[in-house]
A = this chain, B = another copy of it.
């Protein structure tokens, strides 16, 4: 029933807003270079197939690597993930001449990425490649030179592999006829240290090949139709004569179930014209992209906005009907890499524009927790792992709950949240659940006996508030009380004696016996990865992360004035010279704010909690201007499943969520006019009179014609539709400085 309704909604949306093609504003290559790891290939929203190029030594997270030769085109990718690679399965490559299984990569030119289409020229072979994709299938079009040795290779031993490496497990291939090949590739490991997963394929060519070989472990077998799995890499080479027709097309169905299912998936592409396939993808993307119609502003800003907004909806993957682990009637999504990244902006944006999808994702996570031990922080290739900090799926659940998303069984969700909060995960404690839980639940903090003690304690506190929120909403007052109380636990790591740059009181590692860490080499700037006390952050930064109780944090930091100065210092001062050699993971800095990574995502908006919204406007607009561009290196950090994109898109519209709470903090609208269309057809028209690159400060605001004197919004005030009218100016104003502050636990 839900699905029927959703379909109707989609149709309704079409009628309202399908006039314009918004995909022309999207450049899929923005963020593909320089560590953004944006996936530049062809895909549909939440698409299981992400068909794109894999380059060089296959060590780049999304496959693409500027300047490195193209090895081939594989069907599975992530967008923007950092850390070790994942996917890159079922790689195909057109070549010309004799088969050389060991070396067939080609330099490239004329790359051309559009929504639903990726084109490139392979210089070594003079082959033009165009790729498109449907939900579960890829479409390849190869235009060869005239030759009787035009080959298409299917290499089942290739996949992406870097640090936290994916390892080969096995593969099979079978040439079924002179137009059909099927098989699988099995791989384990990668960023989430997953068990083995199997990607099956079925390839159907539009042209009969004249001959074929298969290979196994580097040895070629001409005319041998099948290779079996001896934990060995194998593949097939299909050879065509292109002296007549030069273009070869192939549809490739992908499945995590089996080859027959892959064959069915291939059939979801009906046409043999790649333009038809591209149009199908474009239509799906326009349904989403058209939900924001921008007027005025620069072409460049528009391009960055839509490219950012586009990336928000690439993941998680909708795996409905492709669950090889259990039977379900519920939605089934995967590819969370990781929720630690995406709970902050990506999912709140999905919840705002696509609440049906957002609810499906949450419900799927709840069910995954029931079948797979814990609601995960990260998951791909149908395996959960690994947890970066807290049990941040809690934030997703609370976000869905406070925003009234329908279709989630919140009682079951609460059960899953409580499991994370009460049952230690064991083993290396990175796969799922809350590591260090015995400490947290007895001492009230995760001590230095465990890794990531500070990050975990601060994040668990926020997660506990998420539990409290849902529990209260469901009428479980006892659980609410318990978890509201536990959400104060961050205070147990507040060391009032740590001083830095004129400020006193910071988050600090604490030993199991209650004493503070006293390591002279450890400073408020110390940072690290999994084994560190501060995970991809440092004390100065993490100390701002009490999203559910800013009031109490401000008290701890010495009150409004001191808090404001501390934020100012964080955004405007550089790291002290003597700390420069401390490990910092990311180098895109605004002051000491590592905007290239997620822990600071909310911080620019925190001036709202002391009634100084103009300072948020100033810093946000500075970041948008200085850190994002329309170039291929235009994303400041790993896009992290659209996280960088979502941050950009929210702030461009002029507000940013505090996830898990019914609060959006107003920043500074960029475009003079933005029309937001929600899933039910309601529209919010945001105008920002005089908005420009100079006029970034809000002078006044009216919500539905009435003055709004606070610098934050409720979810209902946005999705209810109507008008939000800003007047912008070039100097800081006193707008909303005396208004009602956003809510805090300690109110």
Q: Name A residues whose Cβ lies closer than 8 Å to a Cβ of B.
A: 167-170, 172-174, 184, 186, 188, 195-196, 198, 226-231, 255, 257-261, 263-264, 321, 323-328, 373-374, 423-427, 429, 433, 438
Contact = CB atoms under 8 A, between A and B. Distances in A.
Contacts of A173: 260
How many identical chains are in the complex? 2
B259 A167 contact: no
Nearest 3 A-B pairs (CB), nearest first? Answer: A426-B426, A228-B260, A229-B257
Contact of A227 (B228, B255, B260, B425): B260
A373 B255 CA distance: 28
B228 A261 contact: yes
Contacts of A229: 255, 257-258, 260-261
Contacts of A323: 231
B258 A226 contact: no
A324 B196 contact: yes
A426 B426 CA distance: 4
Contacts of A423: 426-427
Contact of A433 (B169, B231, B259, B427): B427
Given A228-B263, A423-B427, A426-B429, A327 B169 contact: yes
Nearest to A321: B230
Given A172-B258, A426-B427, A433-B427, A228 B326 contact: no
A324 B257 contact: no
Contacts of A424: 424, 426-427
B231 A172 contact: no
A324 B228 CA distance: 13
A327 B231 contact: yes
A324 B198 CA distance: 9
B167 A327 contact: yes
Contacts of A174: 260
28 contacts: A167-B326, A167-B327, A169-B327, A170-B324, A172-B257, A172-B261, A173-B260, A186-B324, A188-B325, A195-B325, A196-B324, A196-B326, A198-B324, A226-B260, A227-B260, A229-B257, A229-B260, A231-B323, A231-B328, A373-B427, A424-B424, A424-B427, A425-B426, A426-B426, A426-B427, A426-B429, A427-B433, A438-B438
Given A167-B326, A196-B326, 6 more contacts: A196-B324, A228-B263, A229-B255, A230-B261, A230-B321, A259-B259
A326 B260 contact: no
A202 to B, nearest CB: 10
A405 B494 CA distance: 57
A325 B228 contact: no
A260 B195 CA distance: 22
Contacts of A261: 172, 228-230
A263 B229 CA distance: 11
A171 to B, nearest CB: 8
Contacts of A328: 231
Contacts of A373: 427
A326 B227 CA distance: 19
A184 B200 CA distance: 13
Nearest to A262: B228
A169 B426 contact: no
Nearest to A435: B426
Nearest to A168: B327
A258 B228 contact: yes
Given A263-B228, A425-B426, A258 B184 contact: yes
Contact of A228 (B170, B230, B264): B264
A338 to B, nearest CB: 19
Nearest to A425: B426
Contacts of A433: 426-427
Contacts of A327: 167-170, 231
Contacts of A198: 324
Nearest to A225: B260
Contacts of A258: 170, 172, 184, 228-229
A599 B83 CA distance: 48
A196 B326 CA distance: 7
A264 B224 CA distance: 14
Nearest to A184: B258
Contacts of A325: 169, 188, 195-196
Nearest to A231: B327
A200 to B, nearest CB: 9
Contacts of A230: 261, 321
B326 A169 contact: yes
Contacts of A172: 257-261
A427 B373 CA distance: 7
Contacts of A321: 230-231
Contacts of A186: 324
Contacts of A167: 326-327
A174 B169 CA distance: 25
A174 to B, nearest CB: 6
Nearest to A373: B427
Nearest to A255: B229
B169 A324 contact: yes
Contacts of A429: 426
A257 B427 contact: no
A195 B371 CA distance: 9
A194 to B, nearest CB: 11
Contacts of A257: 170, 172, 228-229, 231
A87 to B, nearest CB: 18
A102 to B, nearest CB: 20
A466 to B, nearest CB: 22
A577 to B, nearest CB: 42
A28 to B, nearest CB: 32
A195 B381 CA distance: 14
A170 to B, nearest CB: 6
A706 B455 CA distance: 71
Contacts of A426: 423-427, 429, 433
